[in-house]
Structure 1
Amino acid sequence: SLIAGVRVACIDGRFIANPTFEELEQSNIDLVIAASAESIIMVEGEAQEISEEEMVQALSFGHEEIRKIIALQDQIVGESGKEKKTMPEAESQDELQREVAALCSAELETLIRIPEKSARREGIQALAEKVKTALAEKYPEKETAIMEFLHEIEKGAMRRMVLTENKRLDGRNPDQIRDISIEVGILPRAHGSALFTRGQTQALAATTLGTKIDEQRIEELEGEFRKTYMLHYNFPSFSTGEVKPNRGVSRREVGHGNLAERALKPMIPGDKIFPYTLRIVSDVLESNGSSSMATVCAGSLSLMDAGVPVKDAVAGIAMGLIKEGERIAILTDILGDEDHLGDMDFKVAGTRNGITAFQMDIKITGISTEIMREALDRAKKARQFVLEKMAAVLARPRAQLSRYAPRILSIKIPVDSIGKVIGPGGKNIREIIERTGAAIDISDDGTVIVASVDPDAGEKAAGIIRDMTAEVEIGAVYSGRVKRIMKFGAFVEVLPGKEGLVHISELDHKRVGRVEDVVRIGDEVKVKVIKIDNEGRVDLSRKALLTAPSNDKAE
């Protein structure tokens, strides 16, 4: 069958096929669909808490657009296409298939009822070895075919059990969610952490709060931009009981990490509310299906444990499907084997209010809109159940950040004062960092971000910068240091790099003969600004802050 793809956006309730970048910015859905004319094959995307019905409508709209594209493809094939090559028919192996079935069918019916994953797989592997040994002499070099037939028999047995007995591999009914356990704050030194376990799937998420310096710079075809929120998903081989060399990030880790990142993204507060760079790392410690959705749950909890003011908690669930003719079973919270042996893997993440991310792979044709709608409705119920479990442990973000997290202060300075703060060759800003231990980042628009684990150090650095960039105001009172003394008065530094003159007549109410009789170089004095002339020269007065002597002659 011909296959086509389309991207769907939605602006003010109006669906748009293959939107522009500007339209995507305004859209509450970013949905990518691949399909044949008969059925949808793949779905992936993110949304701003849309309803299940909106999701179904978006899928229907996208599929109709794909049918138009396929009609054009058909036309092109009819006008300029070549005849399809005829493939030679595969050698008939009916006899081998019957013998494999005779040797393993009865035992497989028993083995697939073992609830524990590793014990079930070990039993099936031992049976496979026994079958291969029994048929080795009669069917040499047919090991691959034997394993394929055995896999098909296992698949058929599992599907019959679900459809006829309403019973799944681990003994659950189709709607049942595996046991859930949750721990938060499990890593005492991390800024936020959570351990989420659902059955034999476990994810450990740690959230780190960074500063603007920690932003990730991305260079793409559309241009360069920076990310202040990242989620990284690690899937080590030991999580599935395997031993493999680690040769870098796998496609699975990229894809699952991207799905989980998008699921949480709509809940991340903006820079003006929470000016931190956020990084979540999820390590899958054990996996038996839905590890990406466990990452969503653990990641959401770790953000709240870190004190990030997220808009709401996010949870995820993976749905499955088994369809034989008119018989259908929709499975909630699928296992790895149910994904492998079933017909659909539909991951849905969201909040109490709606869907934020989704990913679907379908292996068969003929899945109707009604089946899709029912799967989404069941996913919603399951998501609400998981969210209740999460809320029972941590209902809202913690009021305080971890004592190990940096405290960030944001101040605004005049753009023409940026050079003054940085200093020649960065001299001034380096001195502030050395004196306070704070990290400082200055943007071109004059926004200064000061970060420090010690709140007092951050306030000290921010205070120095404020003083360096502050403007002297008439009537303001400053505590300054005497820098120079002349016969006619003393020059006092009221702000870093800004001096004013206290005339000898403004030192005291009584007559002063010598300036040194009142102040000396290095003295700290309180002064009031009484005048700033057109050239920016500042006149100060010490006298204005002193109590005037009484005029009562009786004294």
Structure 2
Amino acid sequence: MKVTVERELAGRTLSITSGELAKQSSGAVLVQYGETVLFVAVQTGPSREGTDFFPLTVDYRERLAAAGKFAGGFLKREGRPTTREILTCRLTDRPIRPLFPDGFRDEVQVCANVLACDGENEPDVLTTIGASAGLMLAPLPFQGPIASVRVGRLDGELKLFPTHQEILESDLDLIVAGSKESVLMIEGFGAQIPEDEMADAIMYAHKAIVEICEMQDEFVKKMGAEKTVYEGPGENPFTDVIKKEGYDKLKKAKQNTSKQLRHEQGAAVREELIQKYFPEGTDVASNGGTIPQLKEAFYKCEKQVVRDLILEGKRLDGRAPDDLRGVTCSVGMLPQVHGSAVFTRGETQSMATITLGTSRDQQRTDSLFGESSARFMLHYYFPSFSVGEVRPIRGPGRREIGHGCLAERSVEPVLPPADKFPYTIRVISDILESNGSSSMASVCSATLGLMDAGVRITQPVAGISIGIVKETNEKYTLLTDIMGDEDHFGDMDFKVAGTQKGITGIQLDLKIDGINEKIIRETLVQARKARIELLKTMLSEIRRPRGEISDHAPRLEQIKINPEKIGLLIGPGGKTIRAIQEETGANLDVEESGLVTVSSSSRAAVDDAIARIEAMTEEIKVGKVYKGRVSSVKDFGAFVEIAPGKDGLCHISELSDGFVKSVSDVCKEGDHLEVKVIAVDDQNRIKLSRKALLVEANGGSDSEAEEE
């Protein structure tokens, strides 16, 4: 039976349909907004033996056929997921995961495919809506519904579900997911948005979320789906035992200020309990419990210890709830590279390396919305040694890609515009140590590195993560600059990046079923306080961007020419532009608008190339001096090429300030002469004079030379 429900939102129709496609799946829906259509299928199955986590997988794919396009390059079939697809998977996974009950271990997979894209309405934000609807139909204990919406801001007005073009013009790109009661996930980027305005935008989004959740309730009712009741595993025989024998020991161990010692002492307590209840060769304890059950009970006790300490006002390292860990910064650490910095906050450390390049180095991508080029990239690397582990080093995972893009988009709003700083910029953030919020450390190290590289950012950016331990809506503790254990055992990781003026990046991840407006606003205020403190420390290391870029960076200048003269600059078959590049050693990139970018490792090469371009493309003006090459010698004078394809006549009487018997006495073909334009007639014939310059050099004037 086919069922469809519809709502009018932001001037377009949102519809959810099921009952016609993928009937063997656990739950499948079509979500359509405008003429963008997304298919989402949910499948569940039993977990594999020994699984001690919730195996949820979200896969999202954008096939270019949805926009009537072929994939570029030799292969016409889509390959591995793109960065955009990976980020959408993360956007969908994060609000769904907390809404399954503790102890649920069945396999759950959400597959989303874009079937049609109208070029206006973004499909990524529809994925959470489709996933929620599909999970509500499946025989799963999903505590939904939830929904996700995008909010933009144009001319100061908030706009729900902005089009692709409106997002590009907006000073805010905010995605919020939530239930009817609370907010579950936030990811947004803006042009230094004040905290109160960002909070207003979040709550504006939540109003639309409530309406879409009500729409899903209607949909599920029409489909006749019933909520699945989850009966958790039986009582763990070790729950009370571990709490009685291990709680106090763990409480003491967890108050050690060193991460490594906390873990070692906690592991020692666990090993002591294992040895007590499972002597050598024993698989089952006297109470009927197993080692996995003991480990599970120990983890729950450890979590309760950490949470109790925090609610008592005792953080693991002794800080107050709103205190930062110790911060140190340094710049210019590495030779040869174009800029570098190390930012350390507690036991989290990021090293940023900056590379400056030309437009040829931009990252080009193809998507449903056409080709695009990125002049700024931030790549995040998280090696295993940063957390004291050993594992194979392979390509970047979803987490690394997500953290890198969060830091990238948080820093991007303060970069100088391309017309003022035409470099392509790449930042590498290597995490050398990690104990909480390495993505926000990457924001700080990137800012310091860019300033060290001489990139004229408009404002420095810093980032911090705020956590929470929440018992009720009234009983909770907000934690500034959370450590790994506080993140792991706490309920929230709320990252906020920005300048002294406002927020540039924001990301919320929760392990609970949502937070309210009061907590959101308090978090943003607490994050601002920490951010200002961080900025003061960072600026004490480097006050402003360096006045010059590194000697090792390419020299790059831009010049605008008349677009009608692009052909003249390029020359037949590219002959002229190749000659300039070969003779000067500079590289030239010409855009259709007439913008020419000149780059070289040598400033002299750039200046030489620009001088040649100017001479070739500008209008010849009377009184201007050129250094030209004698192209031919006649009895009556010499023809001098003052620019490629532009010759002027220097009459024999204008070759010298004295008597000239023969042109060959002064110059021959191939010689270089400095000449001055003294006239351009109606037929654009150019008259040149060497004598005028000689007279001026001797203290005379042009008029004196002409009178003689």
In the other structure, the counterpart of 2:167 is: 24
Equivalent of residue 686 in structure 2, options 538, 546, 551: 538
1:159-197 CA distances to partner (integer Å, 9 max, x unpaired)? 111112x11111212111101111111113221111110
In the other structure, the counterpart of 2:264 is 122
Structure 2 match to 1:445: 593
2:315 paired residue among 138, 144, 168: 168
**Residues 138-147 or 180-189, more deviating:** 138-147
Which of 223, 242, 246 matches 1:80? 223
Partner deviation per Cα, 1:298-341 (whole Å, 9 max, x = no partner): 11111111111111111111001111234211111000110110
Residue 168 of structure 1 aligns to a residue whose secondary structure is: coil
1:431-459 CA-to-partner distances (Å, cap 9, x unmatched) read 33333332221212221111123211211
> Paired residue for 2:255?
113
Do the aligned partners of 2:691 and 2:705 also contact (CA within 8 Å) in 1?
A: no
2:309 maps to a residue whose letter is M
Normalising by the residue count of structure 2, what TM-score does the alignment of the two structures yield?
0.73
Which residue is equivalent to 1:371?
519
| Residue 455 (structure 2) aligns with | 308
Please show how residues 197-346 of structure 1 align to structure 2 within 5 Å.
197-325=344-472, 326-346=474-494
Residue-by-residue CA offset, 1:375-421 (whole Å, 9 max, x unaligned) = 11111111111111111111211122222222211112233433333
Q: Mark the CA change 1:183 to 1:542 in structure 2 (over 3 Å): closer, same or farther.
A: closer
Which residue is equivalent to 1:57? 200
Task: Name which of 567, 575, 581 aligns with 1:419.
Answer: 567
Matched residue of 2:330: which SS? strand
Residues 372-451 of structure 1 aligned to structure 2 (within 5 Å): 372-451=520-599
Which secondary structure state, in structure 1, belongs to the residue aligned with residue 416 of structure 2? Answer: coil
Q: 1:497 to 1:171 in 2, by over 3 A?
A: same
Q: 1:446–1:96: structure 2 CA closer, same or farther, 3 Å change rule?
A: same
* Gap change, CA 1:437 and 1:531, over 3 Å in 2: closer
Tell me whether 394-403 or 21-30 shows the greater mean CA deviation.
21-30
- The answer to whether the 8 Å contact 1:114/1:170 transfers is yes
What is the CA-CA distance between 1:27 and the residue it aligns to?
2.8
Write the deviation string for residues 40-74 of structure 1: whole angstroms up to 9, x where unpaired.
11111111111221122122111111110011111
> Aligned partners of 2:571, 2:449: CA distance in 1, in Å?
40
2:515 is paired with a residue whose SS is coil
Query: More deviation in 349-358 or 396-405?
Result: 396-405
The one-letter code of the counterpart of 1:19 is P
Are positions 1:104 and 2:251 aligned together? no
Moved more, 6-15 or 31-40: 6-15
Whether the 8 Å CA contact 2:679–2:687 is kept in 1: the answer is: yes
Q: Output the CA distance in 2 between the equivalents of 1:431 and 1:389.
A: 51
Give the secondary structure class of the aligned counterpart of 2:238.
helix
Change in 2 beyond 3 A, CA 1:366/1:422: closer
Cα–Cα, structure 1 residues 430 and 160, in superposed 2: closer, same or farther, change >3 Å? Answer: same
Higher-Rg structure is 1
Q: Could you tell me how far apart the structure 1 residues matched to 2:253 and 2:616 are?
A: 76
Q: Do the aligned partners of residues 474 and 551 (structure 1) sit closer, same or farther apart at CA in structure 2, a change above 3 Å counting?
A: closer
Decide whether the 8 Å contact of 2:655 with 2:690 is kept in 1: yes
Task: Tell me if structure 1 keeps the 8 A contact 2:237–2:289.
Answer: no
2:153 corresponds in structure 1 to 10
Whether the 8 Å CA contact 1:318–1:345 is kept in 2: the answer is yes
Q: What is the distance in 2 between the residues matched to 1:332 and 1:517?
A: 83
Task: Report the aligned-residue RMSD.
Answer: 2.6
107-116 or 127-136: bigger deviation:
127-136
Render the CA deviation track for 1:444-496: whole Å, top value 9, x for unaligned: 22211111232112111222222333443345444444332334443332333
Letter in 1 for 2:296: E
Q: Give the alignment partner of residue 508 of structure 2, picking from 360, 382, 392.
A: 360
Q: Per-residue displacement from partner, 1:338-367 (whole Å, max 9, x unpaired)?
A: 011011110011111111111011222463
Please, which runs of 5 or more residues in structure 1 have no aligned partner? Answer: none
Matched, 1:494 2:642: yes
Maintained 8 Å contact 2:615/2:642: no
Q: Does the aligned pair in 1 maintain the 2:361–2:424 contact within 8 Å?
A: yes
Q: Work out the CA distance in 1 between the residues paired with 2:299 and 2:170.
A: 44
Whichever residue aligns with residue 117 of structure 1, its letter is: K
> Helix, strand or coil for the counterpart of 2:249?
helix
Distance 1:545 1:377 in 2: 68
Whether the 8 Å contact between 2:612 and 2:643 is mirrored in structure 1 is: no
Distance 1:223 1:312 in 2: 31
In 2, Cα distance between the equivalents of 1:387 and 1:255?
24
User: What is the SS of the residue equivalent to 2:647?
Assistant: strand
- Tell me which of 276, 295, 298 is aligned to 1:147: 295
Residue 533 (structure 1) shift: 4.9
The CA distance in 2 between the partners of 1:512 and 1:13, in whole Å, is 73
Distance 1:479 1:452, change over 3 A: closer
The CA deviation at 1:504 is 5.1
- 1:521 equivalent in alignment to 2:669: yes
Aligned-partner SS, 1:95: coil
In structure 2, stretches of 5+ residues that fail to align are 1-143, 696-703
Contact 1:40 1:362 in 2 (8 A): no
Cα pair distance change 1:90/1:433, threshold 3 Å: same
Separation (CA, whole Å) in 1 of partners of 2:621 and 2:185: 65
Matched, 1:461 2:609: yes
Match of residue 22 from structure 2: none
Contact 2:327 / 2:346 at 8 angstroms: preserved in 1?
Answer: yes
What do the CA deviations read for 1:263-310 (whole angstroms, capped 9, x no partner)?
111100101111111111110100000111111111111111111111
1:422 is aligned with what amino acid? Answer: I
Cα displacement string for residues 118-161 of structure 1 (whole angstroms, at most 9, x for unaligned residues): 11112222322333343343348833322221111011111111
Q: Percent identity?
A: 47
Q: Secondary structure at the match of 1:473?
A: coil
Contact 1:38–1:365 (8 Å) recurs in 2: no
1:42 corresponds, among 178, 185, 195, to: 185
Contact kept, 8 Å, 1:470 with 1:495, in 2: the verdict is no
Distance 1:120 1:297 in 2: 27
- The count of residues paired between Structure 1 and Structure 2 equals 550
- Aligned-partner Cα distance in 1 for 2:523–2:693: 77
Q: 1:220 to 1:500 in 2, by over 3 A?
A: same
Q: Which amino acid aligns with 1:198?
A: R
- Distance (whole Å) between structure 2 residues aligned to residue 106 and residue 508 of structure 1: 102
Q: CA deviation at 1:497?
A: 3.1
Give the C-alpha shift of residue 545 in structure 1. 6.3
**1-structure distance, mates of 2:318, 2:433:** 20
Q: CA shift at 1:530, angstroms?
A: 5.0
